[in-house]
Amino acid sequence: MTPALVAALRTGAVAARAPVAVVSLHGPGAVTCFQGLLTNDVEQPGDGAFLYGALLTPKGLILVDGWAGRLGTAVSFTVPTEARERTLSIFTRSVPPRLAHVVDRTGDVVVYRLAGPHALGVAEAAALPVPPGPGRVVATLARSEVARAPEGAPFTLQLTVPAAEADVLADRLAAAGALLSDEAALEFTRILAGWPQLGAEVDDKTIPQEVRYDELGGVSYTKGCYTGQETVSRLHFRGHTNRYLRGLLFEGGPPAPPADGWSTVTHVDRAVGRVTSLAWVPEGRVAGAGRWIGLALIRREVDPGAMVRAAGRDARVVELPFAFPFVQPA
Q: Which of 154, 20, 40 is nearest to 87 (CA)?
A: 20
Neighbours of 205 (CB within 10 A): 9
What one-character DSSP code corresponds to residue 99? T
- Mean pLDDT over residues 258-283, rounded? 89
Q: Is the pLDDT of residue 136 over 50?
A: yes
> Most distant CA pair in the chain: distance in Å?
62
d(CA 312, CA 266): 9
CB 109 within 8 A of CB 43: no
What distance lies between CA 26 and its chain's CA centroid?
24
Per-residue pLDDT reduced to its tens digit, 50-108: 999 999 999 999 999 999 999 999 999 999 999 999 999 999 999 999 999 999 999 99
- Mean pLDDT over residues 39-58, rounded? 98
Residue 288's pLDDT is: 63
Global confidence as pTM: 0.94
What one-character DSSP code corresponds to residue 39? S
Torsions phi, psi for 174 (to 5 deg): -65, -40
Burial degree of 239 (CB within 10 A; 0-12, 13-18, 19+) = exposed
**Where do runs of H (alpha helix) occur along the chain?**
3-11, 30-35, 84-94, 119-125, 166-175, 183-193, 213-216, 229-238
Q: Is the pLDDT of residue 188 over 60?
A: yes
Per-residue pLDDT reduced to its tens digit, 286-329: 556 788 999 999 999 999 999 999 988 999 999 999 985 443 33
Per-residue pLDDT reduced to its tens digit, 215-257: 999 999 999 899 999 999 999 998 889 999 999 999 876 667 7
Residue 326's pLDDT is: 42
The single-letter code of the amino acid at 144 is S
d(CA 139, CA 142): 8
The whole-chain average pLDDT of the chain stands at 93
d(CA 21, CA 23): 7
What is the H or E stretch that residue 249 is in? strand 243-250
Mode of pairing for the β-strands spanning 290-299 and 243-250: antiparallel
